[in-house]
Amino acid sequence: MQGIGEQLLEKGIPVSFSEPMRLHTTLRLGGNADVFVQPESEAQLETALRLIHASGEKLTVIGHGSNLLVRDGGIRGVVLMPRLCTYAFEGDCLIAGAGCMLHTLSEAAAAKGLAGLAFASGIPGTLGGAVFMNAGAYGGEIGDLFVSAVAYTVLGERVTLTKEEMAFSYRKSGLQESGAVLSKVCLQLTPGKEEAIRAEMAELAIKRRDKQPLNFPSAGSTFKRPENAFAAQLIDHCGLRGTWVGGAQVSEKHAGFLLNRSGTSKDFLDLMALVEKTVYEKTGIRLESEVRILGEDE
Ligand SMILES: Cc1cc2nc3c(=O)[nH]c(=O)nc-3n(C[C@H](O)[C@H](O)[C@H](O)COP(=O)(O)OP(=O)(O)OC[C@H]3O[C@@H](n4cnc5c(N)ncnc54)[C@H](O)[C@@H]3O)c2cc1C
């Protein structure tokens, strides 16, 4: 019986084997994925999902890996990264492949004189990952713009998802339960002036550069915002700013960012555990990981 990787290759779908996940995560950490597949069209995505389901192999979906920590032992089964990167405008709507990067879409919308996406221009992920996470910044969230999406179930069945079905809330979407794989998303933008949109994007980029440690590998804010508090403030007040575990460090610049300074995923997880424990002991507040943790220990 042929392995799933060979079956996918036979269908002309790009596949690699023992793919280092540190190459596909902004944290630059993680062991290898057994099989790494990058469908480049909806048809390839559908075929890949059907074959993976029939093979019984475990499926893991990733976008740009900007909110992921992959453990040092890597990921068994198949990792699927949809490379659906085309987009078009229909009136004030943007219809884009889930693999499009947010900064590309923000730029394109600005050039069209369509406002709404400036908040997302500095979030270093794909549209698919942003919808899954309901990514947000500076008062905007992707769920605010979402109209509908085309997705595939893990069985490879095509479905249309409405805003109601997505049930967006803080860093949450219905996809986190359903496991559907997004292929295409429709966002509602509003007419604006290119100059004003670009000025807003530039202002937000400066804010990010001033506040965030963008020169070291991270997955952004490691923890979700607890109710009535800010994770970074709690971490700072507990004296953890700058703390190291192995090669992982709480950022000196922004205590909500945990950094990979030359460590392993284990170092990063141990630092997360230390931060969670200390903050709980000193404040009674439990921090919850915003970063999604995948794979196996070494
Ligand atoms: C420097 C830095 C700054 C950041 N700033 C912000 C910020 O301001 N606001 C914010 O919200 N986040 C921020 N992040 C976190 C991250 O960029 C967002 O969560 C982003 O939306 C993740 O997108 P991604 O494509 O990288 O997804 P990944 O990290 O690859 O995946 C995240 C989740 O999305 C799922 N997913 C990805 N693609 C699909 C798809 N096509 N179909 C179904 N599921 C899919 C994956 O299964 C995974 O569970 C930051 C990260 C970094 C490194």
Say yes or no: CB of residue 174 within 6 Å of ligand 1: no
Q: What percent of the chain has pLDDT over 70?
A: 99
Q: How high is the pLDDT of residue 22?
A: 98
Give catalytic residue positions: 171, 221, 290
Residue 40 reports pLDDT greater than 60: yes
Does 142 share its domain with 96? yes
pTM of the model as a whole: 0.98
Specify the residue with its C-alpha closest to ligand 1, atom 32. 129
Residue 296 reports pLDDT greater than 90: yes
Mean of all residue pLDDT scores within the chain: 97
Specify the residue with its C-alpha closest to ligand 1, atom 4. 220
Ligand 1 atom at minimum distance from 180 CA = 43
Mutate to test the pocket of ligand 1, among 62, 70, 100 (most ligand atoms within 8 A of CB): 62
Residue 229 lies in a domain: yes
Residue 208 lies in a domain: no
Does 91 share its domain with 193? yes
Instruction: Read off the pLDDT of residues 135-165 as tens digits, 9 standing for 90 and up.
Output: 999 999 999 999 999 999 999 999 999 999 9
Distance 63 CA to ligand 1 centre (A): 7
Distance 282 CA to ligand 1 centre (A): 30
| Residue that finishes a domain, picked among 48, 65, 80 | 80
CATH number at residue 283: 3.90.78.10
| Segments forming the whole domain that contains residue 68 | 4-80
- Specify whether the CB–CB gap between 213 and 259 falls below 8 A: yes
Backbone phi and psi for residue 126, each to the nearest 5 degrees, phi listed first = -90, 170
CATH number at residue 165: 3.30.465.10
Say yes or no: CB of residue 130 within 6 Å of ligand 1: yes
Residue range 221-225: mean pLDDT, rounded: 97
Does 92 share its domain with 186? yes
Where b means 16+ CB within 10 Å and e means fewer, 16-53 reads eeebbbbebbbbbbbbbbbbbbbbbebebbbbbbbbbe
Residue 203 lies in a domain: no
At 215, list the tokens.
């020169």
Residue range 198-220: mean pLDDT, rounded: 98
Say yes or no: CB of residue 117 within 6 Å of ligand 1: no
Ligand 1 atom at minimum distance from 68 CA = 29
Distance 124 CA to ligand 1 centre (A): 8
| Residue that finishes a domain, picked among 63, 80, 97 | 80
State the pLDDT confidence band at 27, using cuts at 50, 70 and 90. Answer: very high
Residue 193 reports pLDDT greater than 60: yes
Does 110 share its domain with 71? no
Q: How high is the pLDDT of residue 74?
A: 98
| Residue that finishes a domain, picked among 29, 52, 80 | 80
CA 24, CA 175: separation in Å to the nearest integer? 21
Residue 72 reports pLDDT greater than 70: yes
CA 122, CA 130: separation in Å to the nearest integer? 12
Residue 168 reports pLDDT greater than 80: yes
Distance 113 CA to ligand 1 centre (A): 26
Residue 1 reports pLDDT greater than 80: no
CATH number at residue 61: 3.30.43.10
The residue among 297, 293, 257 whose CA lies nearest residue 68 is 293
Say yes or no: CB of residue 222 within 6 Å of ligand 1: no
Say yes or no: CB of residue 100 within 6 Å of ligand 1: no
Does 168 share its domain with 133? yes
Residue 264 reports pLDDT greater than 60: yes
Does 75 share its domain with 174? no
Distance 143 CA to ligand 1 centre (A): 14
- Specify whether the CB–CB gap between 285 and 226 falls below 8 A: yes
State the pLDDT confidence band at 90, using cuts at 50, 70 and 90. Answer: very high
Residue 206 lies in a domain: no
Does 149 share its domain with 111? yes
Specify the residue with its C-alpha closest to ligand 1, atom 8. 137
Residue 190 reports pLDDT greater than 60: yes
Q: Give the total number of structural domains in the chain.
A: 3
Specify the residue with its C-alpha closest to ligand 1, atom 10. 135
Ligand 1 atom at minimum distance from 99 CA = 41
Residue range 14-27: mean pLDDT, rounded: 98
Does 107 share its domain with 176? yes
Backbone phi and psi for residue 131, each to the nearest 5 degrees, phi listed first = -70, -45
Does 288 share its domain with 186? no
Q: How high is the pLDDT of residue 2?
A: 67
Mutate to test the pocket of ligand 1, among 58, 117, 133 (most ligand atoms within 8 A of CB): 133
Q: How high is the pLDDT of residue 44?
A: 98
Residue 41 lies in a domain: yes
Residue 97 lies in a domain: yes
Distance 134 CA to ligand 1 centre (A): 9
